[in-house]
Chain A
Amino acid sequence: MTDATLNSGGESPKNRSLHTLDVRTKRRNRAESRFKAYGIAAILVGIFFLVVLAVSIIRSGAPAFSRTVVDIEFTLTQAQLDEAESQLFKTKAYQTMFIAALKEKLDARGLDVAFDDAAIERLLGKIGGDLRSFYAANPDQVGQAVSFQLPASSRVDGYFKGRVSRDTLQDSRFLMKTDLDLVDALHDAGIVRTAFNSTFITGADSGVDNPGGAGLGASVVGSFFMMLVVLVLSLPIGVAASIYLEEFAPKNRFTDLIEVNISNLAAVPSIVFGILGLAVFIQFMHLPQSAPLVGGLVLTLMTLPTIIISTRASLKSVPPSIRDAALGVGASKMQAVFHHVLPLAMPGILTGTIIGLAQALGETAPLLLIGMVGFVARGYPETVMAGFTEPNSAMPAQIYTWAARADASFYEKAWGGIIILLAFLLAMNIIAIILRRRFERRW
């Protein structure tokens, strides 16, 4: 039943002023403003969740970007270096020497708190590796006084970030309550302070007992190489497949079947691609394990359907008149497609590609099966080639690994990692938007 018949009992339209709204118009206007209100409410709900998410990520992740360091001068003699290098556990020897030197320095300063070597050891993070790699890279610094900023232990770090407090700290071999007096005294003396944590951005993964030395840098590189493989493979294959299917292929049972299968493939859970990758790329083709190349290939399989579907949609949205005009002035079908249709479809293709890449960037499940989760991101690849073939992790896999570690400091780093992951994603999106602007043409 329509509104017109509903109102038939009311005043006749002829006797009505256009300046006063009749009941029906009022109702229609009310419906419209109600609908607008729903829309605004929906947007507000969306914004609210976005803000909650962003605030909680930033609040939990921001501490990862700062760290507590012990800032002190240290001199290593050639004799000490030789002694340390002669041992099996060299980094421990470096650490012990550093602790002895630090204690001597503090004794000379006359701090009014009692402490011993063990207390200093509990205070410091695992610094032996840093010291050894410094002297290996700068042999001329042996015998000279060098100013070091070395990470404090995870609980001391937590004390400055509010994660550890005097009330909740339980005495353990990791840190004693009395150690906090020493920490406070050192903080007052300017030896222990909070500094920007560049290691977190540039470093590689570390052992579970060394949160101060952990960084996301190596896995950012891993993700980068993976995305490169995905982009270079899935874009041309995806676009070529969709152009053929959309513009050239005859419409028959066979192409219908392909179409249905592509749509189905887009809905396949990513872990399935991981198993496929393990079986085909590693076990059958003998590609290296844990390599970004294999990760990229697996994610390519996952991304292809997304790209094909969005490319076909944007090719479809180009008006047929453009094809007809090109064909009409004598262009071949291929010329019509490549000179006229494809450039107009480009913004849509780019959007689809970036959505596919973003999805691939955040994927962890398939990487689990091809060995990219664990203690894998150990350093930067030395050559571009090694970037593809040397074992490396990816950002989401690294975040997942950190979140599972016992030390609360790693949990904080997992949140910090999410911030970097989002920044990477944002950068990718910005590049896509800029490219899209350049390709955009109006008709």
Chain B
Amino acid sequence: MTLFKLATSAAAIAAVSATAAAARDQVQVAGSSTVLPYASIVAELFGDNTDFPTPVVESGGSSAGLKRFCEGVGENTIDIANASRKIREKEINACAENGVTDIIEVRIGYDGIVFASQQSGPAFAAFEPSDIFNAIGAKVLKDGEVVDNPYNSWTEFNAELPDAEIAMFIPGTKHGTREVFEDKVLLTGCEDTGTMKAMMDGGMTEDDAEDACLDVRQDGKSVDIDGDYTETLARIDANTNGIGVFGLAFYENNTDKLKVATMGGVSPSTETIASGEYPVSRPLFFYVKKAHIGVIPGLKEYAQFFTADEIAGPQGPLAQYGLVADPELAATQAAVAEEKTMGSGM
């Protein structure tokens, strides 16, 4: 009876899977969830504006993307890895071991990291890196001594800040954003407050002191967010005193709910980030597997389309969405055109 039919269908499926490994005709991209929005804009436009099929862009994070990128060369590996940080030496070596030797690095622009709170919450208007460090550092300098963080309210260490309970929502350790946050805010704050010097005077080596600076208090005043910015937004919505760490584009899309604070006296905007005045920003990249150019149709065209003035330039749709255009875009375009790989003539 129907069992026979089911068996034949199963056989048909098996036949499908056997022929499934046929040639792939679309570009396959994976990686950073920070780059994903921009990549999705470009992928849609690339499909709309050229005769190539729309590329597939998967999310998953910079590290996961680069790991898959380095799995090897061939149709069942991805062509491009999006990353919100530079590829590491370790990853380049892992790539080389699997035969992925020629990698083209493409910088697409900059992303600003902003500190925002509820629109109707306390007036958090201006922060310095030292304020953030004093608020959430595990050990801070108080009255000349390094102590476990004793602060409950912002006003206790900076009289200009409101008397509100400390509640910070920072990106979790799996995010590329966390690295920038640690590097540009916590470490700077640690140095500015003199905590680092005090730690080193207390007998720590410089490396140990740096590590200690990056420790975040564990008493619930600072919360790691492992999800995306939507989760941070939900936490801020529920907490009047909450301060969240967002990407500039996300904040600009939610200005009706969030108000942003200046950092080091500079208010975040595409202009201040492009000029380097706003201190907390980072470059965004994608990495192209050169061995796939010419094999996967549209791969080089996608990279060229992505970096074209009309797309990634200051008037393009990416800047319109919140990406800070790279002032050196022309150099990137030239590098893509001649397929310049990393480590060759750099």
B57 touches A209 (CB 8 A): no
Q: A-B contact count, CB below 8 Å?
A: 166
CB distance from A319 to the nearest CB of B (A): 22
Whether, in the assembled complex, A270 has its beta carbon less than 8 Å from a beta carbon of chain B, the answer is: no
How far, in angstroms, from A371 to B76 measured CA to CA in the complex? 12
B311 touches A388 (CB 8 A): no
As a 0/1 sequence over residues 129 to 172 of chain A, the CB contacts with chain B under 8 angstroms (1 = contact) are 10011000000000000000000000000000000100011101
Residues from chain A with Cβ under 8 Å of B49 in the complex:
88-91, 132
B43 touches A385 (CB 8 A): no
A interface majority secondary structure: loop
As a 0/1 sequence over residues 299 to 312 of chain B, the CB contacts with chain A under 8 angstroms (1 = contact) are 00000010010110
CB distance from A52 to the nearest CB of B (A): 19
Give the size range of A's interface with the partner.
35 or more
* Contact partner, B256, options A89, A164, A411, Cβ 8 Å: A164
B252 touches A291 (CB 8 A): no
Residues from chain B with Cβ under 8 Å of A88 in the complex:
49, 305, 308, 310
Residues from chain A with Cβ under 8 Å of B9 in the complex:
232
As a 0/1 sequence over residues 374 to 413 of chain A, the CB contacts with chain B under 8 angstroms (1 = contact) are 1110110000010011010000000001011111100100
How far, in angstroms, from A285 to B21 measured CA to CA in the complex? 9
As a 0/1 sequence over residues 281 to 301 of chain A, the CB contacts with chain B under 8 angstroms (1 = contact) are 011011111110100010000
Binds A, one of B34-42, B125-133, B143-151, B172-180: B34-42
B56 touches A290 (CB 8 A): yes
Whether, in the assembled complex, A208 has its beta carbon less than 8 Å from a beta carbon of chain B, the answer is: yes
B71 touches A293 (CB 8 A): no
CB distance from A380 to the nearest CB of B (A): 12
As a 0/1 sequence over residues 100 to 133 of chain B, the CB contacts with chain A under 8 angstroms (1 = contact) are 0000000000000000000100000000000000
Whether, in the assembled complex, A210 has its beta carbon less than 8 Å from a beta carbon of chain B, the answer is: yes
A207 touches B71 (CB 8 A): no
How far, in angstroms, from A284 to B58 measured CA to CA in the complex? 20
Residues from chain A with Cβ under 8 Å of B316 in the complex:
89
B21 touches A232 (CB 8 A): no
Whether, in the assembled complex, A236 has its beta carbon less than 8 Å from a beta carbon of chain B, the answer is: yes
How far, in angstroms, from A291 to B71 measured CA to CA in the complex? 19
Q: Which residue of A lies closest to B304 (CB)?
A: A88
Whether, in the assembled complex, B344 has its beta carbon less than 8 Å from a beta carbon of chain A, the answer is: no
Whether, in the assembled complex, A235 has its beta carbon less than 8 Å from a beta carbon of chain B, the answer is: yes
Whether, in the assembled complex, B22 has its beta carbon less than 8 Å from a beta carbon of chain A, the answer is: yes
Whether, in the assembled complex, B86 has its beta carbon less than 8 Å from a beta carbon of chain A, the answer is: no
A283 touches B71 (CB 8 A): yes
Whether, in the assembled complex, A212 has its beta carbon less than 8 Å from a beta carbon of chain B, the answer is: no
Q: Which residue of B lies closest to A371 (CB)?
A: B58
Whether, in the assembled complex, B48 has its beta carbon less than 8 Å from a beta carbon of chain A, the answer is: yes
Which B211-238 residues have C-beta < 8 A from chain A? 227-230
A169 touches B13 (CB 8 A): no
How far, in angstroms, from A407 to B53 measured CA to CA in the complex? 26
Whether, in the assembled complex, A64 has its beta carbon less than 8 Å from a beta carbon of chain B, the answer is: no
Whether, in the assembled complex, A229 has its beta carbon less than 8 Å from a beta carbon of chain B, the answer is: yes
* Contact partner, A207, options B7, B24, B43, B230, Cβ 8 Å: B43
B253 touches A286 (CB 8 A): no
Whether, in the assembled complex, A173 has its beta carbon less than 8 Å from a beta carbon of chain B, the answer is: yes
- Other than the given A208-B37, A375-B56, 18 more pairs (CB < 8 A) read A89-B310, A92-B317, A128-B48, A168-B119, A173-B252, A173-B320, A287-B21, A291-B20, A293-B13, A293-B20, A297-B17, A375-B44, A376-B58, A378-B56, A389-B16, A391-B26, A406-B253, A407-B253
The 5 closest A-B pairs by CB, nearest first: A375-B40, A207-B44, A207-B41, A374-B58, A406-B253
